[in-house]
Every structure is written in structure tokens, then in C-alpha cells.
Amino acid sequence: MRPHGTPVALLAAACLLLLGSCALSRVEEAKSPERLFLGSLGLSGRPRPAGSQQPGRHVPSALWRMFRRSEGDHAEESDPCTVSEYGVRGNIIRYVQDQGRLVSGWSSSCRACLEKQLYFNMSVLQPVELLSLAQLEITFHWKLLQGPRALSVSLYQVIRATLRGADPQAGRRLLLSQSVRLQHEPTSVAVDLTALAEGWRKPGRNYGLLLELLPLDAEPEELLPFHPGNSLPLEPASALPLVQASLVAVSLNPHQCRSGRRRRRSAVHLPVTPSNVCKARRLYIDFKDVGWQDWIIAPQGYMANYCHGECPFPLSESLNGTNHAILQTLVHSLDPHGTPQPCCVPIHLSPISMLYYDNNDNVVLRHYQDMVVDECGCR
Ligand SMILES: *[C@@H]1O[C@H](CO)[C@@H](O)[C@H](O)[C@H]1NC(C)=O
Ligand SMILES: *[C@@H]1O[C@H](CO)[C@@H](O)[C@H](O)[C@H]1NC(C)=O
């Protein structure tokens, strides 16, 4: 037994305390297991999402696909500590939101450019997490077609803050420069920034990125090398929501990743047979009942189950008792008041995947261990 119990036990305790006809003081007590559970998700408190009506706060379709796949039938054979979509180790996938602002309609180095800061707060990753991948995804939406047909995109790493009037090129390093042809479908550019994002995790080392967009009034092929003469003015206010950036960060929390593959979730199909002998019982935890529906996106609830029942003498093999439990039932049968029966406890738990908003409004997909009781035993 770990000092604070398993997450499912904490969650069940929190549920029972919150749901039961319990006194106010017990509801107060329930806040402590809630904190423990949120802490193990890497959250400092219950997230309060700013409101799901906000544009840009939708769940990226790639995350939905990964979530559905992890719930699907072949999830049993997949390694919960590898993200096969990106081919890297990890059990946490975050879409870190861009917090950078639009600098101006034109930058000091390029009058016709739209300049946007990109800032990704990497301190949402806990120090224990190992960053496997940080991929910047910049998406240009088709509405820009009303303006230019193509953009010249330059991405810079900001190395240090520069003063106004200083040479704008001095404090930055070019990471990417390419032309993007705008089509009716949103067009995306992906850039691997893993090494850079690892550096951003250290305090005071993240000056962010700078994105410079130069509208081009011709096919990109015809324009290389381009010169400012063939650019169009781009209305910054209308262009801003049409360029979206997010950082997909895949990380591994090694403490929440045991080796070995997932096992079949037998307890999902528990037989309903009346018996007071130790076995797994059905318990559906509805996140609405604990008031978590506003930050947990999916699932809405799940079959968590629990262990309950007696561990009588003689302990049959099906009760999965340890040698110690067998001897304890023997002693209990001789001296029922002096020695209790062994306890009916989970002996195999399986993970689930959760899709939620963290305290910074980022969307996170996390494979979370020890959430479902599959098998019970006498211990
Ligand atoms: C980044 O996130 C951390 C943890 O959530 C927070 O304490 C900090 O204020 C954030 N920093 C910025 C610049 O938003
Ligand atoms: C003991 O383990 C077996 C599989 O190893 C399982 O079928 C059985 O249900 C378990 N017993 C209890 C009480 O859960």
C-alpha cells in the first residue's frame, strides 16, 4: 500500500464522502483526498476553465482521435507509456496554449509584416516529467484567402529582450523560413522544438518565439527569393484569429509508468452474482457527481469498481490469498476476536485515459494508472 492510497481509492473515498448523507465537516474532509488526487494529475487545484464557449478552446481533433483509440479494443495490447502517433515515449500529451500577443501590424524589421509573439508556458510540466517531444503547430485558416494567396513565414527564437530602437535582428535567431500557400482547408506547419522547449523549462529562460508573416500576392514558387515589393498590407485585427499556434508537448512521468502491457479489463464485464465473499463489485463513478464535469472533458465517468466481501476460512484459491492471508484466516477461525479476517483489496488495477483542462486552460490527454479495479484478493 502506498502512503496515500491508490487514485481510485482516493476518488472513491471522495465520492462516497461527497455523495453520502454526510455532515458538512465530512465534506470538508473530502477536500483533502481531492487535493491528493488532483496533485497526482499534476494539478495544484481544481481547474476552473474560463468557459468552453471561447473560440480556440475546442479540443484538437488529433487529441480526440488518440483518446478514442486508447479507449478502443486494441488498447489492451498497446503500451500505455508510448505515444504511437508520434513514435515517442510518453504518458501525457498537452496542447500548450500560445500566450503571446500580436506585436503590431508591422514590425520594425519588416514594414509589411504581421508580427506575433508566441509564448508557451512550459512550467505546466512537472519537474519529474521527461519531455520527449515538443512540436509547434502553426495553422493558417482559409479565410485569409480574402487577402493574400500566400504568406512568407519566418520563425525566430527570441534569445534576449532587446530595447526599442536596437537592431531587431540582434536578439533573435532564425529557426524557419518558408512560403505557405493558403488553401480553402486550414494549412498547418509543424516544427520540432524539443531541444528549445527543454530549455524553456528552466526558470527565466523562456523569451518565446517571434512569428513574422509577410503576405505575398502571387504563387509562392514564383516568389522565391521574395522581396518586400510584392507584399500586400495585412489587416492585423482580422488576421490574428486566423493564425493559431499551439505546442504539442509529449512527456513521460516515469513514476506513473510501470513496465508491461495493459491487461484486459475483465472487471468491465463483472458478473452480477449475489455473494458476500470477497470480489470486485460494480461502481460507476460519474464525474458530474463530484462536480468535475467542467474540467474533465472525457470520459464523463467510468466503471471504477471496488473490492468488498469476506475472506472466510478456509480461503479458497479463487480468493487469490497470500500465504500470509491463509494463515491469518486460520488464526482468525481459532480466535475470531483476537485476529481479524484478512482484507478484501484490489490486486490488479488497470489504467484509463483522461482528457481534461489543466489550471492554465491547456488541453491534456493523460494515461492514468490504477483507476479501475479488475481483480480482488484477500491480503
Ligand atoms: C506559467 O505557469 C505557472 C504554473 O501554472 C504559473 O505559476 C506562472 O505564473 C505562469 N507564467 C506565465 C508567464 O504565465
Ligand atoms: C483472482 O484472480 C483470478 C485471475 O487471476 C480472477 O479470475 C478472480 O476473479 C480473482 N478473485 C477475485 C476475488 O477477484
3-state helix, strand, coil in the chain (%, to 5): 25, 30, 45
Q: Count the neighbouring beta carbons within 10 Å of the beta carbon of residue 359.
A: 16
Atom nearest to 277 CA in ligand 2: 13
Atom nearest to 376 CA in ligand 2: 14
pLDDT digits (tens, 9 = 90+) for 340-362: 999 999 999 988 999 999 888 89
CA of 294 to the centre of ligand 1 (A): 21
- Tell me which of 138 and 58 has the higher pLDDT: 138
Is 149 exposed, middle or buried (CB count within 10 Å of its CB: 0-12, 13-18, 19+)?
Answer: middle
User: Which residue among 48, 123, 207 has the greatest number of ligand 1 atoms within 8 angstroms of its CB, and so is best to mutate?
Assistant: 123
pLDDT digits (tens, 9 = 90+) for 308-343: 999 998 888 888 899 999 999 999 999 999 999 999
CA distance 310 to 314: 11
Query: Which is nearest to 365 in space by CA: 98, 44, 53, 90?
Result: 90
Considering only 10-24, 156-170, 187-201, 362-376, which range has the smallest mean pLDDT? Answer: 10-24
- What cell numbers appear for 182 in the block? 493558403
Ligand nearest the Cα of residue 342 is 2
With b for 16 or more beta-carbon neighbours within 10 A and e for fewer, the 203-216 pattern comes to eeebbbbbbbbbbb
Ligand 2 close to Cβ of residue 376 (< 6 A): yes
- Cα–Cα distances in Å, from 319 out to 50, 284, 329? 48, 23, 12
> What predicted TM-score, i.e. pTM, was given to this entire model?
0.76
Residue 43 above 60 pLDDT? yes
Residue 164 above 60 pLDDT? yes
CA distance 349 to 82: 19
Residue 379 above 50 pLDDT? yes
Highest mean pLDDT among 41-50, 103-112, 285-294: 285-294
Considering only 5-14, 109-118, 250-259, 365-374, which range has the smallest mean pLDDT? Answer: 5-14
With b for 16 or more beta-carbon neighbours within 10 A and e for fewer, the 317-329 pattern comes to eebbbeeebbebb
CA of 126 to the centre of ligand 1 (A): 12
Ligand 2 close to Cβ of residue 275 (< 6 A): no
Ligand 2 close to Cβ of residue 318 (< 6 A): yes
Contacts of 365 by beta carbon, 8 Å cutoff, 6+ apart: 63, 66, 67, 70, 92, 93, 94, 353, 354, 355
Query: Residue ranges of the alpha helices (H) in 211-280?
Result: 220-223, 236-239
pLDDT number for residue 30: 57
Q: Between the CA atoms of 32, 33, 36 and 42, what dihedral angle is there, to the nearest 10 degrees? A: -100
Residue closest via CA to ligand 2's atom 12 equals 376
Q: Tell me whether strands 114-118 and 209-216 are parallel, antiparallel or unpaired.
A: antiparallel
pLDDT number for residue 22: 28
Ligand nearest the Cα of residue 322 is 2
CA distance 44 to 64: 25
Ligand nearest the Cα of residue 124 is 1
pLDDT number for residue 215: 80
Q: Coil, strand, or helix at residue 306?
A: strand
pLDDT digits (tens, 9 = 90+) for 89-99: 999 999 999 99
Query: For all residues of the chain together, what is the average pLDDT?
Result: 79
User: Which residue among 268, 277, 320 has the greatest number of ligand 2 atoms within 8 angstroms of its CB, and so is best to mutate?
Assistant: 320
CA of 272 to the centre of ligand 2 (A): 15
Residue closest via CA to ligand 2's atom 9 equals 375
Ligand nearest the Cα of residue 45 is 1
Q: Count the neighbouring beta carbons within 10 Å of the beta carbon of residue 158.
A: 18
CA distance 40 to 29: 18
Express as a percent the part of the chain with pLDDT over 70: 71
User: Which residue among 281, 316, 318, 378 has the greatest number of ligand 2 atoms within 8 angstroms of its CB, and so is best to mutate?
Assistant: 318
Ligand nearest the Cα of residue 203 is 1
Number of alpha helices (DSSP H) and beta strands (DSSP E) in the chain: 7, 18
Task: Name the packing angle between helices 24-40 and 7-19 (round to 10°).
Answer: 150
Residue 233 above 70 pLDDT? no
Residue closest via CA to ligand 1's atom 12 equals 121
Residue 36: band (very low, low, confident or very high) from pLDDT cuts 50, 70, 90: confident
Backbone angles phi, psi at 300, to 5 degrees: -75, -20
**Which residues share a beta bridge with 181?**
150
First to last CA, the chain: 11
Residue closest via CA to ligand 1's atom 13 equals 121
Query: Residue ranges of the alpha helices (H) in 20-88?
Result: 24-40, 61-71
pLDDT digits (tens, 9 = 90+) for 246-282: 999 999 999 887 755 455 454 455 655 667 899 999 9
Is 96:247 a contact under the CB 8 Å cutoff?
A: yes
CA distance 218 to 149: 7
Residue 24: band (very low, low, confident or very high) from pLDDT cuts 50, 70, 90: very low
Is 354:298 a contact under the CB 8 Å cutoff?
A: yes
Is 126:42 a contact under the CB 8 Å cutoff?
A: yes
Atom nearest to 278 CA in ligand 2: 13
Q: Which residues line ligand 1 (CB under 6 A)?
A: 121, 123-124, 359-360
pLDDT number for residue 184: 75
CA of 75 to the centre of ligand 2 (A): 21
- What cell numbers appear for 361 in the block? 486552460
Residue 168: band (very low, low, confident or very high) from pLDDT cuts 50, 70, 90: low
Q: Is 309 left (phi over 0), alpha (psi -120 to 50) or beta?
A: left
Q: Cell 512550467: give the residue.
A: 123
H or E stretch at 334: helix 323-334
pLDDT digits (tens, 9 = 90+) for 59-114: 888 899 999 888 775 555 567 788 988 999 999 999 999 999 877 654 566 667 78
CA of 376 to the centre of ligand 2 (A): 6
Residue 151: band (very low, low, confident or very high) from pLDDT cuts 50, 70, 90: confident
CA of 377 to the centre of ligand 2 (A): 7
User: Which residue among 121, 129, 362 has the greatest number of ligand 1 atoms within 8 angstroms of its CB, and so is best to mutate?
Assistant: 121
- Tell me which of 237 and 82 has the higher pLDDT: 82
pLDDT number for residue 272: 55
